[in-house]
Each structure stands twice: as structure tokens, then as C-alpha cells.
Amino acid sequence: SQTIHQWPATLVQPVGSPLSLECTVEGTSNPNLYWYRQAAGRGLQLLFYSVGIGQISSEVPQNLSASRPQDRQFILSSKKLLLSDSGFYLCAWSGHSWSNSPLHFGNGTRLTVT
């Protein structure tokens, strides 16, 4: 069966520090991968999605970047965090090019920028 791992679960970082959140998927190949951000009590904002290695689509211009160095690995990064980057970050995967395939989510990372 397929599983998705996302870490760390919680992170507290000072303003101006770098960020690296990692997500890996097991049990499937060539998945679509997604990064979402959820502000407190709000909906999910799509940040990036990837349909293959090295292929990244950015939805919102911001202080963050994403990379996909391997088929089942998706990384969210920042060189210098801002206070506004605080939030709950969710990684997800879905079947490639199968529009009826739902997203399967990781457990999320709660990021607090101080």
C-alpha cells in the first residue's frame, strides 16, 4: 500500500533562517506531488505541484521554493523565512494524470516563525 511521510511534525524557526521540509512517498511510482499551506482556521492554499522529477509548477509567487530531486521526494525550501511564512504545511500525492484520483495527505508540519 502507498504511504506518505512528511517531516518534521513541528518546527520553530527565527526570522531570516532557512527552511527545508521533506516529503516522501512509498508504494507508488511517478506520483503527482503537492505542497499546500493552511493558515489557522483557513482553507488550503496550493503552493507548488510537480508531475515529475525536476518539474515544478508554482501557484503563488512568494518566499518559498520547491524541488523534486527524486521521483518520490518533494522538498519545500526557503533561504530566509518571514513571519508570514508561519502556518501548517501539508504534502500530498495523487495518481499521475488520473483526474479522479484523490489527494492523499501527509500528517503536516506546523511551522512557527518567531
Partner 1 sequence: AQTVTQSQPEMSVQEAETVTLSCTYDTSESDYYLFWYKQPPSRQMILVIRQEAYKQQNATENRFSVNFQKAAKSFSLKISDSQLGDAAMYFCAYRANNDMRFGAGTRLTVKP
Report if residue 7 touches partner 1, rule: CB under 8 A: no
Neighbour count for residue 29 (Cβ, 10 Å) = 8
Report if residue 103 touches partner 1, rule: CB under 8 A: yes
What radius of gyration do the chain's Cα atoms show?
A: 13
Q: How far is residue 58's CA from residue 46's CA, in Å, rounded to a whole number?
A: 9
Q: Tell me whether residue 24 or residue 32 sits nearer to partner 1 (CB atom).
A: 32
Report if residue 107 touches partner 1, rule: CB under 8 A: yes
Residues 19-48 that bind partner 1 (CB under 8 A): 32, 34, 36, 38, 41-44, 46
Q: Tell me whether residue 81 or residue 89 sits nearer to partner 1 (CB atom).
A: 89
**Is the separation of the CB atoms in 7 and 89 below 8 Å?**
no
